């Protein structure tokens, strides 16, 4: 038997053209484990903690949409205190990834913006992987994308709430609404 044979949840080594729900969940677990390994490599390569990396992603997404968030938004996103977010921002500023600027709408507060070098560092670390992920998604036809998007939304809801998501048709008029997705910004 070749070394590449994978046993399915049915226990048989041959492919009968079917994939069981348990097989899908096992593949999803493999993806999540691979994602965790990638995040660990990224944190180590960039010498950042998990919250630091999440903050950079948020700030990069904000930059891509022309937004300049304040520290409170970052604290809310990360579910940390304002003192902790200040320490996090201090680290990112010292590393040259982020700058603080006066808030043009309220000069008493500051806004946060990634630096060009911070942007380039994150993108340089993640661009290859993001390109490969986008290529995999682009190989799906529109109907497959809807099914995958619905599945991922339902999995997210199940993990977040422990309850199944409401059923959604596979061919909705508004795919973004049906899948719970907004237009993604590449980071």
Res. 17 pLDDT band, cuts 50 70 90: low
Looking at the structure of the chain, the number of domains it has is 2
Question: Which tokens in the block code for residue 176?
Answer: 């973004």
Q: pTM of the full predicted structure?
A: 0.65
Q: What is the largest CA-CA distance in the chain?
A: 70
> Would 88 be classed as within a structural domain?
yes
Q: Which of 119, 149, 174 is the last residue of a domain?
A: 119
CB 150 within 8 A of CB 170: yes
Higher-scoring residue by pLDDT: 41, 18: 41
Q: At 4, which helix (H) or strand (E)?
A: none
Structural domain boundaries, residue 158: 140-182
Q: Please tell me whether residues 110 and 54 are part of one structural domain.
A: yes
Summarize pLDDT for 36-77 with one digit per residue, the tens. Answer: 998 888 888 888 888 998 999 999 999 999 998 999 999 999
What is the structure's pLDDT at 173?
45
Q: Please tell me whether residues 70 and 107 are part of one structural domain.
A: yes
């Amino acid at each position: 038997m070749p070394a590449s044979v994978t046993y399915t949840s049915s226990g048989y080594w041959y492919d009968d053209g079917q994939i069981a729900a348990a097989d899908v969940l096992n593949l999803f677990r493999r993806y999540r484990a691979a994602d965790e390994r990638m995040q660990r490599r990224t944190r180590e390569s960039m010498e950042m903690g998990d919250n630091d990396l999440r903050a950079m992603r948020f700030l990069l997404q904000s930059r891509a949409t022309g937004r300049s968030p304040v520290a409170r938004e970052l604290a809310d996103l990360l579910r940390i205190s304002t003192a902790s977010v200040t320490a996090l921002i201090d680290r990112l500023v010292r590393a040259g990834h982020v700058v603080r600027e006066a808030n043009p709408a309220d000069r008493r507060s500051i806004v946060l913006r990634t630096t060009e070098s911070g942007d380039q560092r994150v993108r340089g670390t993640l661009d290859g992987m993001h390109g490969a992920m986008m290529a995999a998604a682009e190989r799906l036809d529109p109907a497959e994308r809807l099914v995958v998007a619905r599945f991922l939304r339902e999995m997210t809801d199940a993990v977040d709430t422990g309850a199944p998501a409401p059923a959604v048709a596979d061919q909705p008029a508004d795919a973004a609404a049906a899948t719970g997705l907004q237009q993604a910004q590449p980071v």
